[in-house]
Amino acid sequence: MCFGHGINPTSTGKRGKPTFYTDTAILCMATLEEVYGLPLRATEGLLRSVVRLLGVELSVPCYTTLCRRRRALEVELPRRQKPEPLHLAVDSTGIKVYGEGEWKVRQHGWSRRRTWRKLHLGVDEATHEFVAVVVSTNDFKDSQLLPDLLEQVEDEIQQVSADGAYDRRNCYDAIRPREARATIPPQKRAKRSGSMAT
């Protein structure tokens, strides 16, 4: 962890002043903020205390620098490679992106302009680890995004489990090349198709 000595003197070719702190220093602060659930100012104070206790002369990024720089951080979470094939569970959930204040809702009720997004997830059934994620608007059906989720999974897949919303031909067509078993309950009034059987 290097703060004051994490200076990046090289020119980036972009407009503005070069960054003083490396992405690693900002990532370290953002990690502590998230792990301990701290506000930005408290995160800065925690690191200043740690540096003081270590007895080293290092400068610590201020909370405004952390707020600005963490938005552009590219975080790659490491994944443990599994020797056995993956059992992938797929589902989606809705996320309200632009919310309305509680006072406004109490006084005037919900407006029709709420913006929602859908978060499509592929989860390792054994470890509960997210292995694939896609964000879409409400215009997309769950079944349309299953091929995109499968493309993100590099491991061998043994089984894909999903609910009835994924009982569509394009889902079975996306699962078949991976030589995986599809565990998807059929919808009401579904007709058996030879091309869908796995």
pLDDT in tens, the chain (198 residues): 445 544 454 455 666 566 688 888 888 899 899 899 999 999 999 999 999 999 988 888 898 988 888 888 877 766 666 778 889 999 999 887 665 566 666 676 666 556 678 999 999 998 888 899 999 988 899 999 999 999 999 889 999 999 999 999 999 999 999 999 999 998 777 666 654 544
| Ranges of H-type helices in the chain | 23-36, 40-54, 63-69, 102-108, 142-152, 169-175
Question: Judging by DSSP bridges, how do beta strands 157-161 and 181-183 pair with one another?
Answer: parallel
Q: Are 50 and 99 in a shared domain?
A: no
Q: What is the pLDDT of residue 5?
A: 45
- Across the beta sheet with 86-98, the strand order is 130-137, 115-124, 86-98, 157-161, 181-183
* Last residue of one domain, picked from the residues 76, 101, 126: 76
Q: What is the pLDDT of residue 42?
A: 93
CATH number reported for the structural domain that contains residue 102 in this entry? 3.30.420.10
Contacts of 115 (CB under 8 A, 6+ apart): 96, 97, 98
Q: Establish if 196 belongs to a structural domain.
A: no
Say what the pTM is. 0.56
Q: What is the DSSP letter of 185?
A: P
Percentages of the chain per state (helix, strand, coil), in multiples of 5: 35, 20, 45
Q: What is the DSSP letter of 155?
A: S
Q: Are 100 and 168 in a shared domain?
A: yes
Look up the domain containing 169 and give its range.
Answer: 86-183
Q: Are 93 and 65 in a shared domain?
A: no
Q: Are 72 and 102 in a shared domain?
A: no
Q: What is the pLDDT of residue 190?
A: 65
* Last residue of one domain, picked from the residues 54, 76, 98: 76
Q: What is the pLDDT of residue 46?
A: 93
Report the domain count for the chain.
2
